[in-house]
Structure 1
């Protein structure tokens, strides 16, 4: 499963956002069924984070995690102007890279 979080940052409380984001990245990686994450953010505050889960139950359990719920609530009130969330089933996935560390 892919949980696609598309968000527009408010620019408020940059240190608080950075700390919360790092904590959530670490916590998500410790959850059963977590398969990985990709993220990108522009200088304008627009960003996309995709987390990958073994199944829908794992993704739902992550959403229900109490620490994640607290940070989501703070995000809506402080760090984000708006967001969209999409959940999709991944039917195929592959990649290619010249060598480790060469992606720009």
Structure 2
């Protein structure tokens, strides 16, 4: 199974979350897994891709609309995770929202 999300024909939206972590797990891994599972049940969710090395993590989630992104941002459980991220897990982060107008996919 590919780690690359299979997505519908554009347009759709990408939420790009880049982060630098603090030291130690402090429950981060469990919460990250919970958030992926919860996001996947949200209306408008299309898929996710994520990669992390020692210094930088990048997660891109894909959504059908700006309204579905806003609903996910406002989800109560997600808000708890966001607050813990600011207080415990992230040294710094950036979040960017982009409209995908074209995409290409290759699979051998």
Return the TM-score normalized by structure 1: 0.88
Contact 2:14 2:62 in 1 (8 A): yes
Residue aligning to 1:101: none
User: 1:78 & 1:69 partners in 2: Cα distance?
Assistant: 14
User: 1:78 & 1:65 partners in 2: Cα distance?
Assistant: 20
CA positional deviation for 1:15: 5.3
Cα offsets for 1:28-48 (capped at 9, x unmatched): 00000000001110123x110
Large movers: runs of 4+ above 6 Å = none
Return the TM-score normalized by structure 2: 0.85
Aligned with residue 75 of structure 1, among 72, 79, 85: 85
User: 1:27 & 1:94 partners in 2: Cα distance?
Assistant: 27
User: 2:104 & 2:42 partners in 1: Cα distance?
Assistant: 23
Contact 2:26 2:89 in 1 (8 A): no
Residue aligning to 2:50: 39
Task: List gaps (5 residues or longer) in structure 1.
Answer: 99-104
Residue aligning to 2:38: 27
Cα offsets for 1:39-70 (capped at 9, x unmatched): 110123x1100000001000110000000000
Q: CA RMSD in A?
A: 0.9
Task: List gaps (5 residues or longer) in structure 2.
Answer: 1-12
Residue aligning to 2:101: 91
Instruction: Count residues with an aligned counterpart.
Output: 96
